[in-house]
A = this chain, B = another copy of it.
Amino acid sequence: MSEKKPYLRIATEEAFCPAELFDVYRKILADGTLDDPGFMSQWGYFLNSNSERSVFVRDALCSLGEDRISNMDKAGIDQAILALTSPGVQCMERSQAVEFAEMANDYLVNGIKAYPDRYFGLTAIAPQDPDHAAKEIERGHKLGLKGVIVNSHTLNEYMDDEKFDPIFAAAERLNTPIYMHPGTPSKDMVRPMMSRGLDGSIYGFSVETAVHLLRIVVSGVLDRFPKLKFVAGHCGEAIPFWLYRLDHMHAAMIKAKRYATVQPLERKLSDYIRDNFWITTSGMPWPPAIEFCQRVLGMDRVLYAMDYPYQYVLEEVGFTEQVDISPEDMKKLFQTNAENVFNLV
Contact = CB atoms under 8 A, between A and B. Distances in A.
> How often does this chain occur in the complex, in copies?
2
A257 interface: yes
Contacts of A255: 51-53
A320 to B, nearest CB: 11
Specify which of A185, A193, A245, A285 lies most central, judged by the most chain B CB atoms within 10 Å of its CB. Answer: A245
Interface string A58-91: 0000000000000000000000000000000000
A274 to B, nearest CB: 13
Contacts of A253: 197, 200, 202
Contacts of A285: 244
Interface stretch (A20-28, A129-137, A212-220): A212-220
A295 interface: yes
B195 A203 contact: no
A238 B289 CA distance: 11
Given A188-B191, A238-B238, A45 B215 contact: no
Interface stretch (A106-114, A222-230, A258-266): A258-266
A289 to B, nearest CB: 6
Given A196-B262, A253-B197, A292-B288, A211 B203 contact: yes
Contact of A211 (B192, B219, B258, B296): B192
Contact of A189 (B49, B189, B246, B311): B189
B196 A218 contact: yes
Given A244-B284, A244-B286, A245-B283, A218 B189 contact: no
Interface string A273-297: 0000000000111101100100110
A218 B242 contact: no
Given A51-B256, A195-B215, A202-B253, 11 more contacts: A51-B257, A196-B218, A196-B259, A200-B249, A200-B253, A207-B207, A245-B283, A248-B283, A288-B296, A289-B292, A292-B292
Interface of A: 45, 49, 51-54, 158, 160, 185-186, 188-193, 195-198, 200-203, 206-207, 210-211, 214-215, 218-219, 234-235, 238, 241-246, 248-250, 252-253, 255-259, 261-262, 283-286, 288-289, 292, 295-296, 311
